């Protein structure tokens, strides 16, 4: 048993060291509030189980913006599941983000403090396929200090363990991830990704 605990602890240390800008969001106590129903609620396919990112990126250029944080005008958000191969307490989501300027050029920054609030809700249907008001199953906040690097870095982002989600017996999984950031300039940006992820 001690051997398993030591291996899990060393894996966690290695994960933290390799993740670079991976953050763990502190959970915020919530009164179980429901999000308001919109006029056009999202519909979900009950058979859908994979993440379907909705990154509508119009003609992105390869050159980076030189304006820094003050040039940010748009944010893109997506999330990826993280499976720790047997260490189920560490399984969760890695929430990723990218910022763009008005010309759709990626904005890179380092050493700038940007506050981010993340909330996660269930889909608008339950396991029986009945329509429900999506329930908030997670809310947390963090401060990001640098942009994510280009390329494939699976552990870079904001880590949210599944154990922090308050899923009920009838909940189908994760319906959407929503982020709200406040830039040092006072500008507030929001982005979200919608999908169905069963959480095992």
Task: Please count the residues of the chain.
Answer: 200
Pairing of strands 158-161, 23-24: parallel
Q: Where are the beta strands (DSSP E) in 16-65?
A: 23-24
pLDDT in tens, 164-200: 999 998 899 999 999 999 999 999 999 999 987 776 5
Mean pLDDT for the stretch of residues 90-116 = 93
Distance CA 155, CA 129 (A): 34
**pLDDT greater at residue 54 or residue 127:** 127
Q: Which residues pair with 196 in a beta bridge?
A: none
Tens digits of per-residue pLDDT, 81-90?
887 776 667 7
pLDDT at residue number 33: 45
- Sheet containing strand 136-146, edge to edge, reads 136-146, 110-121, 174-182, 188-197
199 in Cβ contact with 178 (< 8 Å)? no
pLDDT at residue 140 tops 60: yes
Are 174 and 197 in contact by the 8 Å Cβ rule? The answer is yes
Going by their DSSP bridges, the two strands 74-82 and 23-24 should be labelled as: unpaired
- List CB contacts of 24: < 8 A, sequence separation 6 or more: 142, 158, 159, 160, 161
Alpha carbons 164 and 197: distance in angstroms, whole number: 15
CA separation for the pair 87, 11 (Å, rounded): 9
* pLDDT over threshold 70, residue 37: no
Tokens at residue 186, please?
């006072």
Determine the 3-state secondary structure of 87 from DSSP: coil
Residue-level pLDDT at 68: 87
**The two structure tokens encoding residue 13:** 């240390």
Sequence-distant (6+) residues with CB within 8 A of 107 are 64, 65, 67, 68, 69, 71, 72, 99, 100, 101, 147
Identify which of 168, 159, 180 has the alpha carbon closest to the alpha carbon of residue 135. Answer: 168
Check residue 67 and give its pLDDT: 74
Q: Which of 194, 138, 199, 192 has the alpha carbon at shortest distance from 172? A: 199
Across 121-147, average pLDDT: 94
């Amino acid at each position: 048993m001690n051997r398993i605990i030591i291996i899990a602890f060393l894996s966690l240390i290695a994960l933290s060291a390799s993740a670079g800008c991976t953050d763990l969001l502190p959970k915020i106590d919530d009164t179980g509030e429901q999000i308001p129903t919109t006029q056009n609620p999202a519909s979900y396919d009950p058979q859908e189980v994979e993440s379907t990112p909705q990154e509508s990126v119009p003609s992105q250029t390869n050159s980076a913006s030189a304006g820094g944080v003050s040039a940010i005008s748009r944010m893109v958000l997506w999330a990826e599941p993280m499976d720790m191969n047997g260490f189920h307490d560490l399984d969760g989501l890695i929430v990723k983000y990218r910022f763009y300027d008005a010309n759709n050029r990626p904005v890179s920054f380092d050493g700038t403090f940007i506050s981010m609030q993340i909330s996660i809700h269930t889909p608008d249907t339950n396991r029986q396929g009945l329509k429900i008001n999506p329930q908030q199953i997670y809310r947390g906040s963090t401060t990001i200090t640098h942009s994510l690097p280009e390329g494939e870095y699976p552990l870079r982002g904001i880590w949210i363990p599944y154990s922090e989600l308050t899923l009920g017996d009838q909940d189908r999984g994760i319906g959407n991830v929503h982020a709200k950031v406040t830039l040092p300039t006072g500008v507030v940006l929001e982005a979200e990704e919608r999908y169905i992820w069963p959480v095992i």
